Structure 1
Amino acid sequence: MAKLYFRYSAMNAGKSTALLQVAHNYEEQGQQVKLYTAVIDDRYGVGLITSRLGPQRQVDTFDTGTNFLAAAPKVACVLVDEAQFLTKEQVQQLHQLAQVKGVPVICYGLRSDFRGDPFPGSAYLLALADDIEEIKNICTCGKKATMNVRVDEQGRRIREGEQVSIGGNESYRQACGRCFYSQ
């Protein structure tokens, strides 16, 4: 039976690297995969899944209007990066793709934003995913990082603002819960 998987972590834990490795493993066995990333994530260019380690791949994009069931290809697996940007309806579509159409779907994303609030896509993935896995990361203090901290150009913490602000290491840091609340 195919499943909907949600693999989440704080920033900079290697989610995109893991996704690209899964795609490579399927393709190395002669299987076709379909990869998606959020159209709003333009850090490295639109439609690119890019690992901080260097590997990069051109993929399809999704936005709030994407219907994953209508676009359901005949593939061995669907892989979704930046899954926190999925809508409730899209998570339901991906769950249905796995449960009814028999296509495994593996989603990678953040669980919460810089304020500690859940992203809508992540909340619904936590509710519907058949398999949930945390990808571990480390805080600067050495403890397990579970939170994200937004910073300004001088590295000072930002506590207010829109939930979505696309950025990388220049804009975000991972933190453990203690450091998240004490900074």
Structure 2
Amino acid sequence: MASLRYFTGPMNCGKSTLALQIDFTETSAGRRGHRFTRQDRSGEARISSRLGMVEPAVEVDDAFDFFAFVTQDIMAGRRVDFLVCDEAQFYTPAQVDLLARVVDDLEVDVYCFGILTDFRTELFPGSRRLMELSDTIELLQARPRCWCGRVATHNARVVNGVMVTEGDQVAVGDIDGERPAEVRYEVLCRQHHRRRQTANVSGVALPGDPLPFGDAGDGPR
């Protein structure tokens, strides 16, 4: 039976690499499918891995209809066995509903790949809907590390060298025009994300939250 699977994790954990690997494995087995992406780091209409692999893909926008796309393919006599959907955190909840319909009504396997939470530690709408609907949710095991050595769990947005926790949810790569600020992303552990302590400021002794203890004279130690 077909299924909807969501592979997720923070940045740098190999999501796009796995997406291209699954596409290669499925195609090598004689199955036919399509690749989709939205706002890939390397540009439109492609899936790119930080390891250097790049493959063309169908670019998704808010008006894109997955069910209509696959249905038209099938009606034209073309077999569709699977979909590989990268950057799925940027899909709309309605598009995730359409992907579930592709699985249920057309018996097509759907593999989605995306980041779970944004730089504010809030769920992306597409990821939230995938968490609600997916048959299987898999946290990728190739875990990136914070500059301190701990496993990284949070994505930080850095603007002009300063970590920010406010702003538009989506800001891909460097921004010019109306917002010329240099934007980049960094993975951090929860502690350093909470303290807004990126690698650039890791040499600064930032105070943590006060511990829930009184002064030394308040009672026994």
TM-score (norm 1): 0.92
CA distance in 2, matches of 1:6, 1:42: 18
For residues 110-149 of structure 1, what are the structure 2 equivalents within 5 Å? Answer: 110-135=115-140, 136-149=143-156
Partner of 1:4: 4
Shift of 1:42: 5.2
Task: Name the amino acid aligned to 1:48.
Answer: R
SS of the aligned residue for 1:10 comes to: coil
Query: Alpha-carbon deviation of 1:31?
Result: 1.6
Indicate the structure (1 or 2) with the bigger Cα radius of gyration.
2
SS at match of 2:52: coil
Find the aligned partners of 1:150 and 1:61 in 2 and give their Cα distance: 24
Is 2:168 the partner of 1:162?
A: yes
Instruction: Look up the SS of the partner of 1:89 in the other structure.
Output: helix
Match of residue 97 from structure 1: 102
How far did 1:139 drift? Answer: 2.1
**2: CA distance between counterparts of 1:107 and 1:173?**
23
Change (3 A) 1:42 1:128: closer
Distance, in Å, in 1 between the alignment partners of 2:114 and 2:31 is 24
1:108-141 CA-partner distances (Å, limit 9, x unpaired): 0011110111111000000000100111332222
Task: Provide closer, same or farther for how the CA distance between residues 45 and 32 of structure 1 changes in structure 2, counting only shifts above 3 A.
Answer: same
What CA distance in whole angstroms lies between the structure 2 residues aligned with 1:42 and 1:177?
26
> Alpha carbon RMSD of aligned pairs, Å?
1.5
- Number of residue pairs matched by the alignment: 179
Paired residue for 2:55, among 34, 57, 80? 57
List gaps (5 residues or longer) in structure 1: none
Q: How does 1:17-36 map to 2 (within 5 A)?
A: 17-36=17-36
Deviation by residue 1:70-114 (Cα, 9 ceiling, x = unmatched): 001432210101101111111111011112211110110011110
Deviates more, 1:69-78 or 1:108-117: 69-78
Are residues 1:45 and 2:43 paired?
yes
1:172 paired with 2:178, answer no
The CA distance in 1 between the partners of 2:165 and 2:21, in whole Å, is 34
Residues 9 and 137 of structure 1 are in contact (CA less than 8 Å); yes or no, is this contact kept in structure 2? no
C-alpha displacement of 1:59: 0.9
Q: Select the structure with the greater relative contact order (CA < 8 A; seq sep ≥ 6).
A: 1
Give CA deviations for 1:136-167 in whole Å, capped at 9, x if unaligned: 3322222222210001243x212221110002
Residue type at the aligned position of 1:37: T
In 2, the alpha carbon distance for the partners of 1:118 and 1:42 equals 19
Q: For structure 2, list consecutive stretches of 5 or more residues without a partner in the other structure.
A: 74-78, 175-182, 197-221
TM-score normalised over the length of structure 2: 0.77
